[in-house]
Structure 1
């Protein structure tokens, strides 16, 4: 039996796990939350396919310009958890749209040009949700 409330919580937990791995600088842990064949489109349009490509693509970032950075996907530490949208296509497939923001190590607050909207395609693998598709788009600054 499909329990939407429990599945929404499990997906929220996945979002928190993604945040936690990023915020610890754990590139392998971050990539482990994606399927082996996941598609990943970064904010700048770069495309990677597969968990290993996600890990390999993020390693130089975590070791370089994003070292010590923090990410907020589903609300962050000081905000209530939320999604822009979460809908179930089937009991084992969901699309989550969420706001995201990266705050660099030396920053107290996120630069407006680092705010994004992100779309995840999620699948339930056994009793665990994983991301199988991800697209990150920077929000356009209003003038």
Structure 2
């Protein structure tokens, strides 16, 4: 084998991992850590929380739906004139490879009229709609009023 052939062989072996890495699947857009705190008063909305993990490109979360509640709205808690208040939000930017947390004291869902049977089952399926056309369905764990947040959500 000529020195040139050996060099080409060595370069081929050394570059193979880089070429394979370039062929790897792109980072997926996904939602996890979904949970709902049920309101103690059936006439007031329950609150929903979750984390969106961005994929390869930025997107917007446009809506969240479920057939286990009469209505779902996205809201954000904000300080206004020295008081905390809530305001509806119509879309939430999700940066590429970033995270957006819906957590107590910040962005959250308001679920009106959560189905009592879903509460008994301990989960509510949520459908997340994104600007790129993705629809992601995630089961949110139901927490009764007064229960602590699930352990994995306490880090957000």
Same fold (TM over 0.5): no
Q: TM-score, normalised by structure 1?
A: 0.26
Higher helix share: 1
Greater relative contact order (CA < 8 Å, ≥ 6 in sequence): 2
**Rg comparison, structure with higher value:** 2
Higher strand share: 2
Q: TM-score, normalised by structure 2?
A: 0.24
